[in-house]
Amino acid sequence: QERIVPLLDLLAPGQARYEKLGSHALRATWPMEDGAGLSLLLNLGERPVPGVKAPRGERIWVSDTGAIADILPPFFCGWYLS
């Protein structure tokens, strides 16, 4: 909340997009007016999703700090600033 809420005023209206990453996972991105972006990786399924790269930039918060590169763990949530 401390990191994301202050960014909300910088989000570019109507520019958000998402990509499905399997049946229970997605990547959502909110571009900001200053050229940066806020991204969410989310897996609500019981199985890992292979082949998913974390967004470039700063990791704000993740639910599983032991996640393996390029694999989205089950029940994972991660917020990134690029």
pLDDT tens series, the chain, 82 aa: 788 888 899 999 999 999 999 999 999 999 999 999 999 999 999 999 999 998 999 999 999 887 778 899 999 999 999 9
* Beta-sheet pairing, 49-50 with 58-62: unpaired
Task: With 0.85 as the threshold, say if the pTM is over it.
Answer: yes
**CA nearest to 48, candidates 9, 20, 81, 75:** 75
Contact predicate 54/41, CB 8 Å: yes
d(CA 19, CA 15): 14
| Contact status, residue 27 vs residue 52, Cβ threshold 8 Å | yes
CB 68 within 8 A of CB 54: no
